[in-house]
Amino acid sequence: MASMHKLQAKEIRLASRPHGEPSEENFAFATAEIPELQPGEVLVRNAFFSVDPYMRGRMNEGKSYVPAFAVGKILDGAAVGQVVQSRDAAFPVSTWVQSLCGWRDYFVAPAQQLRAIDARQAPASAYLGVLGATGLTAWVGLNDIANVKEGETVFISGGAGAVGSVACQLARLRGCRVIASAGSAPKVAFLKNQLKVDHAFNYRESEPLQQLQTSAPEGLHVYFDNTAGPQLEAALYAMRNRGRIVMCGAISGYNTPVPGPRNLALTIVRRLRIEGFIVVDYIHRMPQFLAEMVPALRAGKLLHQETIVNGIEQAPRAFISLLHSGDAHMGKLVVRV
């Protein structure tokens, strides 16, 4: 206990707010003393933490659905780790936990704020990806927002990314015809060969509307939008009457806002429904989600694709790369602490 008390936590802070594209100077590494445990608290050593596009919005000033990061203060995000000291009987040493205390190696928190995970069911990092908020986002978007049905044609942009790769697989498991896009040849190959989508294309090297019109001549029932920008515009043209557009993300405009689609009036002509959602409003769906996903993962019906970056000091660079198109990562991007 005495030696642990002297432990310093390594953490990443917001050094300054980026304008446009972030750079490594916007991040600072710091150490902080780990406080002595109070009753009900645990000390956790993070094993992996998540790198997520929504963090870019939190680096800006101003109110969003989550508070902005404060300059000079620690960043945070989803993480999984193991309890190394405990003053809560329900969370003994070695318990694997999921938290929102990422971007650091150790942290102390009330055990009540943590969720225990079963790392025997799946690798711990999967609870940041296919079994975590990422997977839940895909699941909620397809089930609760789009209400996809067997036989429908679904287009998923950002298909090789964290949310997109789960959405592609779930839509296929629901019996849908899946069209997916990504920004590089290896990602398109991954979509076709590993995720087995019906049609995949590189949105940077081909015309998205033409791809959609040839692969879905009858039109799209559902568009699961991770990017907004030109792909949203193309999808609007390609929707069937009474189609549904799930607004999950708009990454094409996170660094520099992009204009909205010029053909939004098609929502009237085609009687479309466009609905945005934030996964944190659906945490109550976690039990149903896990009840479906864990057996599917264990039975090999779902692929848990992740890219692991080693070392907390690599996190800023990994985050910057996430906001770009390219091959830097496939599936869920996590940092191994």
Ligand X SMILES: NC(=O)c1ccc[n+]([C@@H]2O[C@H](COP(=O)([O-])OP(=O)(O)OC[C@H]3O[C@@H](n4cnc5c(N)ncnc54)[C@H](OP(=O)(O)O)[C@@H]3O)[C@@H](O)[C@H]2O)c1
Taking the least distance from each CB to ligand X, the nearer of 92 and 276 is 276
By the rule CB under 6 A, 237 interacts with ligand X: no
Distance CA 42, CA 31 (A): 19
Determine, following the binding rule CB under 6 A, whether residue 279 of this chain makes contact with ligand X. yes
What's the min distance (Å) between Cβ of 274 and ligand X? 13
54, 123, 285, 296: residue in contact with ligand X (rule CB under 6 A): 54
Q: Is residue 252 near ligand X by the rule CB under 6 A?
A: yes
Between 83 and 154, CB nearer to ligand X: 154
- Interface with ligand X (CB under 6 A), residue total 32
Residues 84-103: x/- map of binding to ligand X (CB under 6 A)?
Answer: --------------------
User: Which of positions 122-151 make contact with ligand X (CB under 6 A)?
Assistant: 134, 137
Pick from 11, 41, 52, 152: which binds ligand X (CB under 6 A)? 52
Q: Strand 239-247's sheet: what is its strand order?
A: 199-202, 177-182, 153-156, 220-225, 239-247, 273-276
Q: Which of 235, 241, 211 is nearest to 223 (CA)?
A: 235
Q: For residue 54, with 0-12 CB atoms within 10 Å meaning exposed, 13-18 middle and 19 or more buried, which class applies?
A: middle
Q: Which residues inside 303-322 make contact with ligand X, applying CB under 6 A? A: 322
17-25, 72-80, 145-153, 275-283 -> range binding ligand X (CB under 6 A): 275-283
Under the criterion CB under 6 A, does residue 158 sit at the interface with ligand X? Answer: yes
Q: Which is nearer to ligand X, 163 or 335 (CB)?
A: 163
Residues with Cβ within 8 Å of 336's Cβ and at least 6 positions away in sequence, in order, are 47, 48, 125, 308, 309, 310, 311
Minimum CB separation of residue 151 from ligand X in Å reads 26
- Annotate 237-296 with DSSP letters as a single string: HHEEEEEEEEE---GGGSSS--PPPTTTTHHHHTT-EEEE--GGGGGGGHHHHHHHHHHH
C-alpha span between 5 and 250 (Å, rounded): 43
Residue 280: partners with Cβ closer than 8 Å, 6 or more residues away: 65, 66, 133
What is the C-alpha to C-alpha distance for residues 15 and 261, in angstroms, rounded to an integer? 34
Does residue 164 belong to the site contacting ligand X (CB under 6 A)?
Answer: yes
Give the residue, chosen from 81, 102, 249, 261, that forms a contact with ligand X under the rule CB under 6 A. Answer: 249
Residue among 150, 128, 115 nearest 79 (CA): 128
Question: According to the binding rule CB under 6 A, does residue 162 interact with ligand X?
Answer: yes
Q: For ligand X, which residue of 10, 36, 277, 294 counts as binding (CB under 6 A)?
A: 277
Choose between 28 and 323: whose C-beta lies nearer to ligand X: 323
CA atoms within 13 A of residue 48's CA, in its CB half-sphere = 21
**Out of 90, 93, 116, 278, the residue judged to bind ligand X by CB under 6 A:** 278
| Dist. CA 16–CA 182, nearest whole Å | 31
For the segment 6-25, give every residue that binds ligand X (CB under 6 A).
none
Candidates 251, 266, 290, 297; binder of ligand X (CB under 6 A) is 251
User: Checking phi first, is residue 119 left (phi over 0); if not, alpha (psi -120 to 50) or beta?
Assistant: alpha
Residues at the contact surface with ligand X, assessed by CB under 6 A: 52-54, 134, 137, 158, 160-164, 182-184, 187, 226-227, 229, 248-252, 277-279, 322-326, 333
